[in-house]
Structure 1
Amino acid sequence: MTDTQTLIENRPPSVATLFLERVEATPDAEAYRYPVPTEGPGPDGWASLTWGDAASRVFSIAAGLMDLGVRPEERVAIASATRVEWILADLGILCAGAATTTVYPSTNADETTFILADSGSRVLIAEDAQQLAKARDRRPELPDLKHVVVIDPKGLSAGEDDGWVLSLEELERRGAAYLEKHPQVVKETVAALSKDQLATLIYTSGTTGRPKGVRLPHDCWSYMARAIEAISLLDKDDVQYLWLPLAHVFGKVLIAGHISVGHITAVDGRVDKIIENLPVVRPTYMAAVPRIFEKVYNGVAGKARAGGPAKYKIFKWAAEVAREYAKASQENRRRTGSPTVPFALAAQHAIADKLVYAKIREAFGGRLRACVSGSASLAPDIGYFFAGAGIHILEGYGLTESSAASFLNPGEAYRIGTVGKPFPGTEVRIAEDGEVLLRGPGIMQGYHGLPEKTAEVLEPDGWFHTGDIGELSADGYLKITDRKKDLIKTSGGKYVSPAEVEGQFKAVCPFVSNVLVIGADRNFCSALLALDEPTILGWAEENGLGGRPYAAVVASPAARELIDGYVQRVNAELQRWQQIKSFRLLPRDLDVEHGDLTPSLKLKRPVVEREFKDLIDEMYAGSREM
């Protein structure tokens, strides 16, 4: 048996057990860093918790929940942005033997009520008064919800709601008192956990309809933790910058991996602070969704354009060199095992590195060893650009139903355009219709209270139907080509992958924010395009449209002409039936607040199509449907 097999097959029954083992092994090592806002201008300060410090708080939270009457496998919900208290609360819930229900802080009151009621959550840990209000206003609909614990109690009165509401600090005090009477209760509870007990209920963000609660037992997280350790993605000297939403399975799996490896994690979910935090945290590792890398690329391109024609010309040249360099080095590594490139290209790359790439790496903190990208596909040209610039983005693949990570590109041997190889212990096969099927310890138990929906995707022998279409290379690299349900068929009988066309457009056009390709049962493909506001307004300043709002700029003939040029460039690389024959610029960007995107920034296609139906009808007015 290999070391990898031993590590995975001998995994403990729960992440709570792993946490106790980590605390015992390295109690004085730094575990978490978190921001401490300072008054006035300037960057925030940062504080630290050792593993021993974290355990003290986790045990108090666990005992406090027990004191409130929470019992094993009962649900405790968390509705909060990413912060260190989220992690401590989650670990406290698990160490109490209970299960965490995750709720995005951006979720509206109606859907929050649905999740709390459907999960039967007994306690809600709410970030602040805003999150508390969502439950308080619908309290009659939530008979199972016995208490709300508020992390940041600013604006709340003591003893509010007859003890229904208490602060996290109060919960921890109650827990400390409970531990004085029952000093071994947390360790005994963790020791009694079995691998099949429910650990987490994560509600799919749902691009259509009500979300489904995905039941993930303790063994899923224990397996993921050991699998991440086994592939040597991280080591104990790494510093991870964690900003992803922890209500999402991608963020949650990073907590498990962190405990198993024992490195440092800097936690701050404020997306508007990422640029400010990177030079302070100086991470060696960071996970993100493709939208973040697209925004960074657009920002760099926009800054170069604002610097004048000469500077922009240098950037475009450097971007092309980066892509050529990355493609050549990856191809040569695949063929010969060595990432060598032709001498002339290497010389160009060295010059471009001094002029452009070094500044990009410095903006990421200067120490970034690798990034992991997941949740949606990364446009290959974006990946090649960053690879050539020395920012290595390892694309992975997984679903909420598979505990996030089922595939990941392997370190230096990563291949852009693929999602890498399966995690050890995970099986994969491609069905006759091209659908990717998975089986292994990371697969969910099923959908909460929905046996019929579970049976639709989970076979009796454990094979899970992902709903994604993919191809496996001879040496085990997976390429996802599209969502099975998102493939569209034109009225001419041709199949089109919207994600493929959308990805190519994002790679070519530095102004685009979101793209929606349409064409199902139509005689040609069209697109709705939302532009990146700061980038297009910067262009407007340079082109006689300064001072106008976003909607006025995108409605101008000049903006349409600009974007049409990029549409034609993309069309030149597509098959005739894939080409964008018509497009419309949207009067605003797509976002979570309007319901266009899920909290993990996936496009809700039906929502956007309904919202902008008049623009779609306009594009097809007068066209002859077959």
Structure 2
Amino acid sequence: MKLKEDLNPMLLLLFHLMVWIYTVITFLPSYLLSWVSRPDGSFYGSEEERAKRAKARSVLGQPEGPYRAVSSMKKLVTSLHPGVDTLDKMFEYAAMRFPHRDCLGTREVISEEDERQSNGKVFKKVILGEYRWLSYKDTLTAASHLGSGLAALGQRPKTNIAIFCETRAEWIIAAQACFTYNFPLVTMYSTLGGPAIAHGLNETQVTHIITSRELLETRLKAILTDVPRLQHIIVVDNAPTFCHIECVCFGAFSVDIPATREHKAPLPSDIAVIMYTSGSTGIPKGVMISHSNIIAGITGMAERIPNLCEEDTYIGYLPLAHVLELSAELVCVSHGCRIGYSSPQTLADQSTKIKKGSKGDTSMLQPTLMAAVPEIMDRIYKNVMTKVEEMNCVQRTLFILAYNYKLEQLAKGYSTPLCDRLVFRKVRSLLGGRTRVLLSGGAPLSAATQRFMNVCFCCPVGQGYGLTETCGAGTISELWDYSTGRVGGPLVCCEIKLKDWVEGGYRSTDKPYPRGEILIGGPNVTMGYYKKDAKNQEDFFVDENGQRWFSTGDIGEFQEDGCLKIIDRKKDLVKLQAGEYVSLGKVEAMLKNCPLIDNICAYANRCVRIPLAQLDKIKHLATQSAFTSICGEMGHSEEFSRDIPESAVSGITTEWKHLGRTGT
């Protein structure tokens, strides 16, 4: 995607002259440097050449597969380190190798204050200090104390315990305690509604739950009477006194209870996590994930991140109750990386809870590794492009020239250090300035956003594909593959094949590429849904070789180089009253890139779109003369359109819905 603008001819000439001089001066040093760094003389090559390089092949040579990564054609890989086959062993291995290195970091809260906005609303703002770190050795000790304390409170091996908490260091400490003492950990999103939370707690019959004071007071308190088996609440911060169930402060375990209680180590086949889904398509389902499942999944993910080591820093802010974040953090732990915690409200300097003039978490932490979901990346893309639109003519022209120039160089396989330093450094600093790998998962990433992130953040953006039922592992694109719209080849821990979906018109015999429902098989495929035998028989199966498979419901196609492209979803296709099929996901993804729309929901009876308007953009539109004619067409006077910016924002939103409905 090239940016378009009427460019000043003189600026265009000067820019190309500067680039030409720089290229001539740096050609020989950069060539020699690349030769030294790759003694074998290998070169990633142009985008076209990279797209032809095989990432996976069909094991049997058949178009439906199964397809495996080129490096694991003979055998799927199941573990990172010899003998490390459970999660407690993995953390002990990391603590033994990196005992004094930073492991988990949390920013100190210096002060909180209420800030009144111009519209009268009051937002809570925080000023945060430095990161405070626990070493790997200290983290392991804290987890051992907590596990011993939970056992003293009556928690028994192979008996479920729940965690209902925001992403923070205590979450991972609690998880590690449960892994060590063989307490299956029930995880639920902190955004779930009361009935869904009660359903999960009752279905898994938990007697102990780990939570935060805020979630206890705002979410759990209202449903405690609906969860009769619950006996103990462990609060990660100060425990309240109102509760009729015994509340214990998380910190007390590190002081009052020694880590001496004996415990029996888990087996690889034992359940490590029962992870409840978001419940977006019905009642949340608990996915049973064994230790060996997670070990296999993170093994496959780690193989796609080059040079992963203890020098890396990962920023954790996505929900740990989601398989993407949990897997990403466990990958980091297995390699001795440090993990600094954040939240969407404090991530960047401009985040909603950061007081103006204070530093956000990315500026302070300067992470090298980061995972994100497309919604966050789309928001960054739209915010930066808004800033570009506000630049003066010279600045905007230079930005667009540099953007298009770098896009061309990336396609040829070249780097652009001059543009990176002079033009994109400020954009790159939004994520701390040191990010070397960005991984996107959870949903398809638009081509425009992926290109933008590759160019402006000066680091590769890998797309991944996986599900809770496969430990988040399925595919991740090679980081040197800048092609868009694809999710890469299968990871070394699994294989993928296609199943014909005749009703939808997808078959493995389709030309030029085979298409069908995606089936994922391998040691990362989980044990199934908790107490859902009928659903297990529908979605999971074991083949004649004893390998477990999961039917994803997603439609994919394998391209010539073995990369997978997600092209549809069985449940996403909706048949309208007139008989035509509409993919709601594609409709939403396309419309969310409109600068006037903040978010959108598509609903099918007739294809209705319900946008959440970007109010700043709507206000700006309302001041333009073009909007006067639009309002006139809708039966409003010019006086109304002039008065909109201050007095009728809600009216604009309503009229925008009318515009969408009429197709204007």
TM range (shorter): 0.7 to 0.9
Find the residue that maps to 2:294 and give its secondary structure.
helix
Alignment partners' CA distance in 2, 1:293 and 1:19: 31
Whole-angstrom distance in 1 between the partners of 2:604 and 2:405? 35
- Residue in 2 aligned with 1:151? 236
Q: Distance in 1 between matches of 2:601 and 2:217?
A: 35
Instruction: Decide whether the 8 Å contact of 1:132 with 1:148 is kept in 2.
Output: no
User: Displacement of 1:80 after TM fit?
Assistant: 1.2
- Are the structure 2 counterparts of residues 161 and 402 from structure 1 closer, same or farther at C-alpha, using a change threshold of 3 Å? same
CA distance in 2, matches of 1:6, 1:397: 18
Match of 2:291 among 211, 218, 231: 218
Cα–Cα, structure 1 residues 356 and 501, in superposed 2: closer, same or farther, change >3 Å? farther
**Corresponding residue number in structure 1 for 2:135:** 50
Amino acid at match of 1:483: R
How many angstroms does 1:411 deviate by? 1.8
- Structure-2 change in CA distance of 1:273 and 1:386 (3 Å): closer
Deviation, structure 1 residue 407: 0.9
Change (3 A) 1:394 1:43: same
User: Is residue 399 from structure 1 mapped to residue 399 from structure 2 by the alignment?
Assistant: no
Distance change (3 Å), C-alpha of 1:495 and 1:106: closer
Which residue in the other structure is 1:89 paired with? 174
Q: Deviations over 1:212-238 (max 9, x none)?
A: 111111111121233333334432211
* Residues 219-258 of structure 1 mapped to structure 2, 5 A cutoff: 219-233=292-306, 234-258=308-332
Aligned mates of 2:620, 2:172 — CA distance in 1: 39
2:572 is aligned with 1:499: no
* Partner residue in 2 for 1:487: 573
User: Is 1:360 matched with 2:427?
Assistant: yes
Q: Over residues 140-179 of structure 1, what are the superposed CA-to-partner deviations in whole Å (9 max), with x where a residue is unaligned?
A: 432322200111216x23xx65661111122333432xx3
Partner of 2:385: helix, strand, or coil? helix
| 1:189 corresponding residue in structure 2 | 264
Is 2:445 aligned against 1:373? Answer: no
Assess if the C-alpha contact under 8 Å between 1:80 and 1:131 holds in 2: no
Contact 1:226–1:260 (CA<8 Å) still a contact in 2? no
Aligned to 1:301: 385
CA distance in 2, matches of 1:239, 1:318: 29
Q: Is the 8 A contact 1:322 1:387 kept in 2?
A: no
**Equivalent residues of 1:302, 1:535 under 8 A apart:** no
Q: Which residue of 1 aligns with 2:367?
A: 283
Q: Which amino acid aligns with 1:289?
A: V
Q: Could you tell me how far apart the structure 2 residues matched to 1:381 and 1:555 are?
A: 29
The superposition leaves residues 239-292 of structure 1 with CA deviations (integer Å, 9 ceiling, x where unpaired) of 111111101111111222122111111112343433411111111110010011
Q: TM-score, normalised by structure 1?
A: 0.78
Q: 2:217 aligned with 1:142, yes or no?
A: no
Does the C-alpha gap of structure 1 residues 249 and 70 become closer, same or farther in structure 2, counting only changes over 3 Å?
A: same
Structure 1, 477-486 or 533-542: larger mean CA deviation: 533-542
CA shift, 1:318, in A, is 5.4
Determine helix, strand or coil for the equivalent of 1:85.
Answer: helix
Q: Is the 8 A contact 2:362 2:431 kept in 1?
A: yes
Q: Residue 399 and residue 445 in structure 1: after superposition, are their counterparts in 2 closer, same or farther (change >3 A)?
A: same
Q: In the aligned structure 2, how far is the partner of 1:139 from the partner of 1:222?
A: 35
Per the TM alignment, residue 463 of structure 1 is displaced from its structure 2 partner at its CA by 1.8
The answer to whether the Cα contact below 8 Å between 1:225 and 1:259 also exists between their aligned partners in 2 is no
The answer for the alignment partner of 1:21 in structure 2 is 93
Report how many aligned residue pairs link the two structures.
532
Counterparts in 2 of 1:8 and 1:451: CA distance versus 1, 3 Å: same
Give per-residue Cα distances to partners, 1:308-333, cap 9 Å, x unaligned: 5665566566555555555x34xxxx
Contact 2:297 2:493 in 1 (8 A): no
SS at match of 1:449: coil
Deviation at 1:399, TM superposition (A): 0.7
Give the drift of 1:110.
2.1
Q: Which residue of 2 aligns with 1:552?
A: 651
SS in 2 for 1:424: coil
Matches within 5 A, 1:212-611: 212-233=285-306, 234-275=308-349, 276-307=360-391, 326=410, 328-329=411-412, 339-340=413-414, 353=420, 356-389=423-456, 390-433=458-501, 434-461=516-543, 462-490=548-576, 493-507=579-593, 509-517=594-602, 522=606, 527-537=609-619, 545-548=644-647, 550-555=649-654, 560=656, 584=658
Compared CA separation, residues 495 and 111, structure 1 to 2 (3 A): closer
Structure 1 residues 540 and 286 mapped into 2: Cα distance closer, same or farther (>3 Å)?
A: farther
8 Å Cα contact 1:322-1:384 kept in structure 2: no
Deviation at 1:405, TM superposition (A): 2.3
Q: Which residue in 2 is equivalent to 1:67?
A: 152
8 Å contact 1:301–1:315 — kept in the other structure? no
Partner of 2:185: 100
Greater share of helix residues, 1 or 2?
Answer: 1
Deviation digits for residues 568-615 of structure 1, max 9, x if unmatched? xxxxxxxxxxxxxxx7579xxxxxxxxxxxxxxxxxxxxxxxxxxxx7
Q: Residue type matched to 2:390 in 1?
A: A
Question: Which stretch of structure 1 is more off in the superposition, 316-325 or 432-441?
Answer: 316-325
Cα deviations by residue, 1:382-411 (Å, 9 ceiling, x for unpaired): 111221222422110111111112111112
Where in structure 1 are there 5+ consecutive unaligned residues? Answer: 330-338, 341-345, 561-582, 587-614, 621-626
Which residue matches 1:172? 254
Q: 1:135 to 1:504 in 2, by over 3 A?
A: closer
> Percent identity between the aligned chains?
26
Quickly say closer, same or farther: Cα 1:162–1:554, change in 2 above 3 A: closer
Contact 1:322 1:385 in 2 (8 A): no
Q: How does 1:116-131 map to 2 (within 5 A)?
A: 116-131=201-216
- Rounded to whole Å, the distance in 2 between the matches of 1:584 and 1:175 is 63
Q: Secondary structure of 2:611's partner?
A: strand
Superposed CA deviations along residues 354-392 of structure 1, whole A, max 9, x for unmatched, are 664222112221111010000011111111122122242
Deviates more, 1:367-376 or 1:353-362: 353-362
Aligned to 1:334: none
Is the contact made by 2:297 and 2:470 (CA closer than 8 Å) also made in structure 1?
no
TM-score normalised to structure 2 length: 0.74
Alpha-carbon distance in 1 for matches of 2:603, 2:341:
39
Cα pair 2:300 2:473 within 8 Å, conserved? no
User: Aligned partners of 1:109 and 1:585: how far apart in 2?
Assistant: 36
RMSD of Structure 2 on Structure 1 (CA): 3.0
Alpha-carbon distance change, 163 to 140 in structure 1, aligned in 2, over 3 angstroms:
closer
Q: Distance in 1 between matches of 2:370 and 2:622?
A: 33
Moved more, 207-216 or 164-173: 164-173
Q: Secondary structure at the match of 2:347?
A: helix
Amino acid at match of 1:23: A
| Displacement of 1:301 | 1.7
User: CA contact under 8 A between 2:367 and 2:435: conserved in structure 1?
Assistant: yes
Who is 1:203 aligned against?
276
Aligned to 1:38, the other structure's residue is in SS state strand
